[in-house]
Amino acid sequence: MEPTKVANSFRIRASATADIMAGEIGLTEVQIARMIELSEREKPGAKPLTENMKIELSKLKMKHSFPELPQGAKTYCKKWLKEFLYGRHEELKNKYVKKGNACEEDGFTLMATELNLGMVYKNTERKIAEFTEGECDLYHNKIIYDNKSSWSLDTFPMFESTNTNNAYWWQLQTYASLWVSEKLVLCYTLNNATIDLVDQALKWEENHDEKYKIAERMIFTKDFFDAIKLSHFPDSTLSTFIEIPDHKRIKSFEFLPDQDLFNDIKIRVQMCREYIITLLK
């Protein structure tokens, strides 16, 4: 396959947009200021540049005229190209992803009830455009919703006033390039671990009080905890479980689609494609 044809197959996946968009293209503000400072000393009557300064200025001018992708984007392009050429995709598997997948429906139910969405269903359409691709969780009344199931109470942003996860923000903005949207909503939900996850966590523990403590960190509703206690550690002497009500187990952050970002994404994708061509050649 021709290098150009391979490169043109590259699009930013919504989940990876932050990796591609991170870092500066060309000179940073500090480097621009330094280039201007050194350039001033090339003028007649100014203090002459040292040899090291001449080399530094030359490098800055070269980088300014021929900007390169940041190293993180280059690394991603290499990874993408290996997957594209040889059909092997590394699946991300850890306990956080496992819980997120297992508790996805519970998260949607919580979103539907607490955000008054009515009867909604998970989006199953994956959209592919010229520069981006992705599959949002929910698309309802021209609003894009994305659900992130927190691993534990400790990782759940219950008292945060603003979203601090830049990757999720970029992911939603990428979805906005694929679906006509008026608003973007990032929802964190705190869901009970599934029975399989609880079983796995309790598997090697024999002490019933210790089992109680483990389950207490994984379950947030009383009915489910009582059922687990009865079946897994009925002899526990502890009674410290506190239920977290539904409205406390969801935290949402709203954003507006930023049209200016779409052009930035387009430029970065084009640079990635050019870099992929150099890798193939």
pLDDT average per 10 residues of sequence, the chain (281 residues): 90 92 79 85 86 82 76 92 88 74 86 90 92 95 94 94 92 95 96 93 95 96 96 96 96 93 90 93 87
* Residue 72 in domain: no
Number of domains the chain contains: 2
Residue 90 pLDDT: 77
Residue 66 pLDDT: 65
* Residue 34 in domain: yes
* Residue 155 in domain: no
* Residue 38 in domain: yes
pTM: 0.82
User: What range does the domain containing 211 cover?
Assistant: 195-243
Structure tokens that stand for 115 in this block: 């955000």
> Which residues, 6 or more positions from 143, have their beta carbon under 8 angstroms from its beta carbon?
181, 182, 183, 184, 185
* Residue 204 in domain: yes
**DSSP result, 196-251:** HHHHHHHTT---HHHHHHHHHTT---HHHHHHHHHHH-TT----------GGGSEE
**Biggest alpha carbon distance in the chain?**
89
* Residue 177 in domain: no
- Among 67, 96, 129, the domain-final residue is 67
Residue 186 pLDDT: 97
* Residue 41 in domain: yes
Cα distance between residue 257 and residue 183, in whole Å:
6
* Residue 214 in domain: yes
